[in-house]
């Protein structure tokens, strides 16, 4: 009996070690490509690992937070996947660049057109989003992951600060402090600004060249005038000398 109890205790201890040493399961997550500043725009990547050995991930649904609607949501094309954007009417319109927005994206769905995410692989789904809210430190996106065997994993549990991570946590995007211009700038705005700077620099350079050319012209004119004045002085000196020689009777 004593030996049996010792053996049972040993098995329990070994099982506990295996559980504690097992790595946490990967889950659907979201990370910004660079920074995601409050009030600005950002590109975020939804990272989806395949956790099954006998099935592929064939569908991903990302639900956008209704309490913080985003006026712009643009998925980047992903080879082998079809993206569908779903919009919904807002309870309260939001202002975006001086115009009222009455609807916002509520969900983006990606459906595999081929094999999907096979066992042992992961896939990133990039999305351009904005303007990000400035009244919260994070955005929670609830996700549904569908496998080829029809299994659906619901990553919808909201992590609570100070508590252990739930079994199926929802992707959470942390927002950084607002940038100096607060609203950020799009690539087109940045290109336009750069073009304006280049034009201004070219104008300054052209003005400097014109100024330099004008200075050179003035210098040349003054040089010619100086030469003419010098030549006149020499001629006057020669003539004056001849007059003195002709006027001197002793010459």
Q: What is the pLDDT of residues 104-115, one digit of tens each?
A: 999 999 999 999
Per the model's pLDDT, the better-predicted residue between 166 and 213 turns out to be 166
Distances (CA, A) of 215 to 128, 148, 212, 223, 229: 53, 79, 5, 12, 21
Task: Determine the pLDDT at residue 203.
Answer: 52
What is the pLDDT averaged over residues 24-29?
A: 79
Task: Determine the pLDDT at residue 14.
Answer: 44
Q: Is the pLDDT of residue 81 over 90?
A: yes
pLDDT above 70: percentage of residues in the chain: 61
Helical (H) or strand (E) element with 208: helix 187-247
Say if CB 106 and CB 88 are below 8 A apart.
yes
What is the pLDDT averaged over residues 139-152?
A: 97
Q: Is the dihedral of CA 170, 64, 125, 55 positive or negative?
A: positive
Task: Determine the pLDDT at residue 27.
Answer: 92
Per the model's pLDDT, the better-predicted residue between 139 and 183 turns out to be 139
Of 15-19, 79-83, 231-235, the range with the lowest mean pLDDT is: 15-19
Task: Determine the pLDDT at residue 160.
Answer: 86
pLDDT above 90: percentage of residues in the chain: 50
Per the model's pLDDT, the better-predicted residue between 15 and 114 turns out to be 114
Of 15-29, 37-51, 141-155, the range with the lowest mean pLDDT is: 15-29
């Amino acid at each position: 009996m004593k030996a049996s109890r010792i053996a049972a205790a040993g098995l329990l201890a070994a099982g506990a070690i295996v559980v504690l040493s097992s790595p946490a399961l990967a889950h659907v997550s979201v990370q910004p490509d660079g920074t995601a500043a409050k009030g600005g725009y950002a590109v975020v990547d939804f990272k989806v690992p395949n956790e099954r050995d006998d099935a592929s991930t064939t569908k991903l649904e990302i639900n956008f937070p209704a309490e913080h609607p985003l006026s712009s949501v643009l998925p980047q094309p992903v080879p082998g996947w079809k993206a569908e954007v779903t919009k919904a009417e807002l309870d309260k319109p939001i202002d975006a660049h001086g115009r009222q927005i009455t609807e916002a994206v509520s969900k983006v769905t990606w459906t595999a057109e081929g094999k999907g995410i096979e066992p042992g692989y992961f896939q990133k789904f990039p999305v351009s989003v904005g303007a990000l809210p400035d009244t919260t430190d994070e955005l929670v996106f609830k996700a549904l992951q569908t496998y080829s065997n029809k299994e659906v994993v619901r990553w919808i549990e909201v992590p609570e600060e100070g508590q252990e991570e739930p079994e199926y946590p929802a992707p959470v995007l942390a927002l950084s402090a607002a940038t100096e211009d607060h609203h950020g700038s799009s690539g087109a705005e940045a290109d336009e600004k750069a073009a304006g700077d280049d034009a201004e620099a070219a104008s300054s350079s052209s003005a400097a060249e014109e100024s330099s050319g004008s200075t050179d012209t003035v210098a040349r004119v003054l040089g010619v005038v100086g030469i003419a004045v010098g030549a006149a002085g020499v001629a006057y000196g020669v003539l004056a000398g001849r007059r003195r020689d002709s006027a001197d009777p002793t010459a």
